[in-house]
């Protein structure tokens, strides 16, 4: 599903080689935010690496045209650390926009599915709020719901727990893993402890 050969970029000066099979998870730890963001851009085909090859869903990114890359990215959900939300739209509008734009389904089904996911995160009362009214955790949830709603084959989480309380991290991790189902996931994290939280293992501060 995701395969990397001899990858080198600003995020690492040593070659990276790995493969994440369909439906499984991959964990990558970068202490510096800019390194994690750079890695995300390379994996998602937004930026070319200094060296090496990236394969997504069996396709070598370096061989794809701009239009082919655009089509491939429709199958990738990205949850940015900042949420990546549009500030002048309400939370609900932010959730629906990508799925409606890419026409992943008809509007009625998209709306129904969006409500179902929002309920899983217990955030129904906040969906008509402006982005400015949301807490950091709520913004993160909106970004996750939005990514899930496009029915991605791959979902990338960029520092999903940064700035959250320990209880919030554990709660959010459980919700993500429950709703992820068989979607291939790539987690960009800041510490080994965060990986342990996702894997539901004993992790102490």
Average pLDDT over residues 59-68: 95
Give just the sign of the alpha carbon dihedral 10, 11, 12, 16.
Answer: negative
pLDDT band at 152 (very low <50, low <70, confident <90, very high): very high
Instruction: Please report the pLDDT score of residue 202 as a whole number.
Output: 54
Write out the DSSP string of 143-159.
HHHHHHHT--SEEEEES
> Is 60 exceeded by the pLDDT of residue 57?
yes
Average pLDDT, the chain: 94
pTM: 0.93
pLDDT of the residue at 205: 47
């Amino acid at each position: 599903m995701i395969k990397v050969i001899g990858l080198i970029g600003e995020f690492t000066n040593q070659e990276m080689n790995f493969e994440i099979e369909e439906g499984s998870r991959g964990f990558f730890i970068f202490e510096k935010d800019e390194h994690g963001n750079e890695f995300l851009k390379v994996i998602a085909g937004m930026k070319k690496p200094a060296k090496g090859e990236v394969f997504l869903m069996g396709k070598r990114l370096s061989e794809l045209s701009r239009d082919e890359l655009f089509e491939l990215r429709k199958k990738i959900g990205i949850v940015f650390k900042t949420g990546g939300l549009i500030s002048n739209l309400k939370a609900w509008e932010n959730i629906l926009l990508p799925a409606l734009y890419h026409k992943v389904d008809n509007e009625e089904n998209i709306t129904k599915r969006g409500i179902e996911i929002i309920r899983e995160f217990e955030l129904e009362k906040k969906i008509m709020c402006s982005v400015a009214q949301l807490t950091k955790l709520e913004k993160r949830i909106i970004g996750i719901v939005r990514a899930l709603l496009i029915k991605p084959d791959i979902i990338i989480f960029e520092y999903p727990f940064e700035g959250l309380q320990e209880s919030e991290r554990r709660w959010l991790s459980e919700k993500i893993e429950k709703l992820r189902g068989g979607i291939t996931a790539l987690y960009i994290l800041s510490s080994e402890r965060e990986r342990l939280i996702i894997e539901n293992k004993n992790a102490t501060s």
